[in-house]
Structure 1
Amino acid sequence: MKHVLVLFLLLSLGIWGCDGNEEIADLPPYVGPMMEADSIETLYSDSAVVRIRVEAPKRFEYDNGNSEFPQGIYIEFYEPDGSTSSTLKADKGYYFRERDRYTAVGNVLIDGKKDHNSLHTDTLHWSPPTQRIFTKARVMITEKLDTLWGVGLEAKQDFSEYTILNPEGTTMLSDDDDEEQ
């Protein structure tokens, strides 16, 4: 009798356990963030000198190493002497680990401190290994005396040199530019 009671309990638990496993098996796998952080600051350094600072009010980190900055991203690029060479600001940001690339989206603004110029676009990519920024989106660059428009851009991350891939409109040339030709 004792063995029958134990066998009945085991069978009852086994049947009850199977029902629970079927419900768990029906759940889709979780694909959301594995970690959430507030008020983040990440520093990139070279030879113990800070070269880049990344700030964001919120960061989601995913299982594959990618990150999302849903409330905006701000990046400062520094000269070897510690002065700021340029800044990048956007409404949202993403980091893709496999490509080692950041993507800034929405009201993207690059402010070039050395040449007092700025870039406005909707989407911009930054590659830390190559120290380059680029986009295929429409761009507007404001310089001291001129505003340039176009589609697509490649530039140094400090925004000291850039190329608009498909320029549009007209631009003013200074007397210095005429003498070089």
Structure 2
Amino acid sequence: MNYLGRGLGVMLLAVAFGACNEHKTKQLDEIKIYTGPVAIAENVETVYSDSARLKLIVKAPLQTEFQTGDREFNKGIEIDFFDPKGVETTHLTANYARYDKQAGIYFATGNVVVENFVEKQKLESEELKFNHIEKRIYTDKFVRITTQLDILTGTGLTAAQDFSSYKILKPEAVISR
């Protein structure tokens, strides 16, 4: 075979190989990555502890977990907080919640209620964020706090996770009971 024939043969192979790679690349571009749930569980109870001490318990009738570790609680959530002796001090409920694993934050919405049993206080809002890494709860929405003596209202709040201390960012009213 002469050099011209060999050259044409090599060129045809290169064109054919390039066309195959282009087709495969196009197919890979069309592949859709699955972003849906990787697990769905009912009647979930997750216990968090540190150094063998109970910190909090998360309960939910339905939990959906995603590949990122994020979770969604479409049918509501309850979180119980415990002191170092293992005594429940605070209880949080909400109609809906989601957990952002990377940020370490729970976002609770819809009829959010936090009750501190030690201080006999109750916080109500339509939205709260709970950062379990920083151990605090906060919101920029309307809040209502009922204590043994007063009802406090305002917009925005930052508080300790057990609601033992708090600050209303824009207080609006104090109503004595």
**What interval of TM-score do these two structures reach, taking the shorter chain for normalisation?**
0.7 to 0.9
Aligned to 1:110: 114
Q: Deviations over 1:84-109 (max 9, x none)?
A: 11010000110001101111110000
- 3-state SS of 1:169 partner: strand
Report the AA paired with residue 109 of structure 1: V
1:79 to 57, 79, 83: 83
Amino acid at match of 2:152: L
Q: Is the 8 A contact 2:150 2:174 kept in 1?
A: no
Unaligned runs of 5+ in 1: 1-17, 173-181
Q: Distance in 1 between matches of 2:51 and 2:68?
A: 29
CA-to-aligned-CA distance 1:94-126 (integer Å, 9 cap, x gap): 000110111111000000111100000011011
Please report how far the alpha carbon of residue 26 of structure 1 lies from its aligned counterpart in structure 2 after TM superposition: 6.3
- Of Structure 1 and Structure 2, the greater strand share is in 2
Alignment match, 2:101 = 97
- Equivalences, count: 152
The Cα of 1:59 is off from its aligned counterpart by 0.4
What is the TM-score of this pair, normalised by structure 2?
Answer: 0.80
After superposition, the CA RMSD in angstroms is 1.8
2-side partners of 1:165 and 1:42: how far apart? Answer: 32
* Shift in Å, 1:31: 2.6
Alignment pair present for 1:123 and 2:106: no
Match of 2:17 in 1: none
Deviation at 1:145? 1.4
Shift of 1:157: 0.6
1:11 aligned partner: none
Counterparts of 2:39 and 2:51, CA distance in 1: 30
Task: Tell me if 1:31 matches 2:25.
Answer: no
Alignment of 1:1-181 (within 5 A): 28-172=32-176
Alignment-mate amino acid for residue 112 of structure 1? N
Question: Identical aligned pairs, as a percentage?
Answer: 37
What whole-Å deviation, never above 9, does each CA across 1:20-46 have from its counterpart, x for those lacking one?
Answer: xx8xx8685433211101111111111
Distance 1:170 1:49, change over 3 A: closer
TM (norm. structure 1) is: 0.78
Unmatched segments (≥5 aa) in structure 2:
1-22
